């Protein structure tokens, strides 16, 4: 989301989750997205904007619209470690499922999101690997700009990547 915003894409977000130690640049979220299963009216406000939608909610997007989905895929061990660290900092209890089971659940959810994209008219999917995005931001910025809008500021997109924020590495 930071790359898209830096490149010049308007972002639909509300700032309800303020920047913190886990995401010092903010969360780029729009609260109504979390209630998509009950109310997807927010989608009409998203025309021409980037919106952060977690993978589990993608199949709940209303049919009949066109969606370009940039799916940033991260090694699941890193995702789980990041979530665990965030919960610990907040003093919250992590799920008591074994990490292997959590990874299996995440993998199935990602497969469902990919299948939805592959079989839904009007959906175009670009998969980006988190490791490559951080390690080669210029290449990732070019690929993302080509997917979204070739007139985006690719240099600004590349420059906004901060490798020091990649704290949970597999």
The string of pLDDT tens digits covering residues 37-85 is 999 999 999 999 999 999 999 999 999 899 999 999 988 888 777 777 7
Residues recorded for the chain: 170
Cβ–Cβ under 8 Å, residues 126 and 71: yes
Which among 62, 60, 71 is positioned nearest to 133, based on CA atoms? 71
Domain residue ranges of the chain, discontinuous segments joined by +? 2-165
Choice among 21-35, 87-101, 110-124, 130-144 with the minimum mean pLDDT = 87-101
Cβ–Cβ under 8 Å, residues 109 and 54: no
Which among 163, 123, 137 is positioned nearest to 7, based on CA atoms? 137
Continuous H helices in 70-161: 76-90, 99-119, 130-135, 137-148, 154-159
**pLDDT for the residue numbered 80:** 76
- Is the pLDDT at 95 greater than 80? The verdict is no
- Is the pLDDT at 23 greater than 90? The verdict is no
Distance CA 165, CA 33 (A): 25
Give percent above pLDDT 90 in the chain: 67
DSSP annotation of 92 reads P
Choice among 29-38, 75-84, 105-114, 125-134 with the minimum mean pLDDT = 75-84
- CB-based contacts of 41-47 (< 8 A; 24+ apart in sequence): 42/12, 45/12, 46/12
């Amino acid at each position: 989301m930071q790359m898209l915003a830096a490149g010049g894409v308007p972002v639909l977000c509300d700032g309800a989750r303020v920047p913190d130690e886990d995401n010092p640049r903010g969360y780029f979220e729009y609260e109504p997205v979390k209630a998509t299963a009950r109310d997807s009216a927010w989608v009409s406000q998203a025309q021409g904007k980037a919106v952060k939608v977690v993978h589990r909610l993608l199949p709940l997007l209303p049919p009949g619209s066109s969606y370009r989905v940039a799916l940033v895929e991260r090694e699941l061990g890193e995702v789980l470690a990041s979530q665990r660290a965030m919960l610990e900092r907040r003093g919250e209890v992590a799920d008591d499922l074994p990490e292997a089971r959590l990874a299996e659940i995440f993998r199935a959810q990602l497969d469902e999101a990919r299948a939805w994209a592959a079989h839904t008219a009007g959906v175009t999917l670009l998969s980006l690997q988190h490791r490559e995005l951080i390690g080669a931001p210029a290449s990732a910025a070019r690929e993302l700009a080509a997917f979204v809008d070739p007139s985006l500021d690719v240099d600004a997109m590349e420059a906004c990547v901060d490798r020091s924020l990649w704290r949970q590495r597999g």
